[in-house]
Each structure stands twice: as structure tokens, then as C-alpha cells.
Amino acid sequence: MVVTDAPPQPGIHPGCQRVIEIFGRLGDKWTILSILMLTEKPRRFNELKRLIGGISQQMLTRTLKALERDGMLTRTVYPTVPPQVEYALTPLGRSLSEPLLQLASWTLEHVGDIEDHRVAHDGKKATGEERGG
């Protein structure tokens, strides 16, 4: 997402700006997944890649770097012969995983309703358009 740094939006009070910025970060398709995959225990790079599934190593690198910069996780390099890097949530990251898990749980609980409603909505729209055209 964009939400560069502080887009000059006069309307909203400053707090919302930060929320937007963080939400933007969370919404970048892989961030939340990465955090969730680390809640159980620390993981290595390719382990994460496998677990998340469908992410390119490019994006995983970017995502993990951004999360490290934000203090959400730590990156530990073990100077072994085949290089080994371990990613682990910081306390901050772990504290974020709580509301995130709540959200995930909400999603699992209601995704059926949503999909049902989509079908109904699309069906209704199609019928309406048929009558119209």
C-alpha cells in the first residue's frame, strides 16, 4: 500500500493517520500471514516460504525486512556452513499477533456468511440486469 508517511489530510485527527499507516502495512498481503506463521515458534527463511505458500522469496525478504525495521521480529544469522537465518517475533510482534489472531478467528467464523452473501448479491444483480436488459 501507499500511505507514504503523513499525507496531508486536514479532516481527521492525527491518531487516525498512524492507524491508517499501520493498517496499510498490515494490508500488504503477506505481513499478517508472516506474523501469524511466527506465532508458534521461530522459523527459518525457507520454512516460512513453505508455510506461507505462494509468496516469492523477493516478497518474503521485503516483508521480513519491513517487519524487522518495525521491531516486530528479529533476524538471527547462524554462521553455519549452509547459512541459517532464524526469524522470531519480538514481544511487540507477539502483542500484535493477539488482535491478529482475533481477526483471523472472526474471519474463519464468518467467511461462510460472506461467501453466501456474495453469491446472493451477485445472483440478485444478475437477475436485475437480465430484467433490465
Nearest approach, Cβ of residue 31 and its own copies (Å): 8
How many C-beta atoms surround the C-beta of residue 33 within 10 A?
A: 19
Nearest approach, Cβ of residue 64 and DNA (Å): 6
94 within 8 A of 67, measured Cβ to Cβ:
no
Q: 17-26 in b/e burial notation, b at 16+ Cβ within 10 A?
A: beebbeeebe
Residue 20 interacting with DNA (CB under 7 A)? no
With CB cut-offs between 5 and 8 Å by kind, which of its own copies, DNA, none does residue 64 bind?
DNA
Q: Tell which positions 72-91 bind its own copies, by CB under 8 A.
A: 72
Residue 65 interacting with DNA (CB under 7 A)? yes
